[in-house]
């Protein structure tokens, strides 16, 4: 009898738990769907070496490996993937301290990672580096081959820092982040009043007020400028 009663009320408890555990609307739910789909449609089949920067538990490195790339995935924390691939290798480490030779990579995947670099208290970071994100972007630029490219996704909106979580890039910091790169393609996404992601223009995306739990998304295809040193 108890089991039959529990089976009837369990779905209601699950719905209530999900409702109470969600941040206020709008929130970031579904952000990875937008970001991962952007990465997926912009990785061409081919060969070469790829870097999956800040890979976490994501599967973008696996995707690049299945497209034909020889992939090195890096993160500050260990990963626990449920798969192995002969062309996918993981290295635990800090991009600012790892010593890759210049012009090592044809492709860099930088999916929702750069905004955390240098923020003390995030992902076991103990040293505060206010411009760690910009330093990392410049180092990655040197790691790209002249004909290589980066697939970048970041939080966008009015410029703000939510320590120790992340930065949000707007009209002031976004140009600094992209310095030395040529933007081949870009997209912007925001949440509507039904908490669904919709594509929008740059002006609207960069002028929205972000929150700790809600901001816009910027998606970019970047190439190193030819006049780099």
Joined tokens for residue 124:
């076991």
How far from 62 is each of 5, 50, 142, 196, 197, CA to CA, in Å? 44, 11, 24, 27, 25
Q: Which pLDDT value is given to residue 122?
A: 72
Looking at the DSSP assignment, which residues form a beta bridge with residue 51?
Answer: 72, 108
Domains of the chain are: 26-224 (3.40.50.150)
What's residue 128's pLDDT?
Answer: 85
pTM of the model as a whole? 0.88
Cβ-count burial of 222 within 10 angstroms (0-12 exposed, 13-18 middle, 19+ buried)? buried
Which CA distances in Å does 204 have to 83, 117, 143, 160, 190?
40, 26, 33, 16, 9
Degrees (nearest 5) of the Cα angle 75, 79, 81? 135
- pLDDT of 5: 53
At 152, list the tokens.
Answer: 């970048």
* Series of mean pLDDT values for 10-residue runs along the chain (229 residues): 52 50 85 98 95 97 98 96 97 95 98 94 78 97 97 98 95 98 98 96 97 95 80
């Amino acid at each position: 009898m108890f089991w039959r009663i529990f089976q009837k009320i369990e779905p209601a408890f699950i719905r209530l738990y999900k409702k109470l555990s969600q941040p206020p609307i709008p929130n970031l739910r579904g952000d990875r769907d937008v970001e991962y789909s952007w990465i997926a449609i912009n990785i061409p089949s081919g060969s070469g070496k790829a870097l999956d920067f800040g890979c976490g538990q994501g599967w973008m490195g696996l995707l690049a490996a299945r497209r034909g790339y020889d992939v090195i995935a890096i993160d500050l924390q260990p990963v626990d993937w449920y798969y192995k691939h002969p062309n996918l290798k993981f290295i635990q480490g800090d991009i600012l301290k790892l010593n890759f030779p210049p012009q090592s990579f044809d492709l860099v995947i930088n999916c929702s990672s750069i905004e955390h670099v240098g923020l003390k208290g995030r992902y076991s970071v103990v040293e505060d580096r206010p411009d760690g994100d910009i330093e990392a972007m410049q180092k990655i630029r040197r790691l790209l081959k002249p004909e290589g490219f980066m697939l970048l996704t970041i939080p966008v909106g009015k410029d703000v820092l939510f320590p120790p979580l992340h930065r949000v890039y707007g009209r002031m910091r976004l140009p600094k982040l992209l310095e030395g790169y040529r933007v081949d393609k870009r997209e912007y996404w925001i949440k509507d009043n039904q908490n669904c992601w919709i594509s929008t223009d740059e002006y609207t995306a960069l002028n929205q007020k972000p929150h700790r739990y809600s901001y816009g998304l910027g998606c970019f295809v970047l190439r190193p400028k030819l006049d780099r040193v």
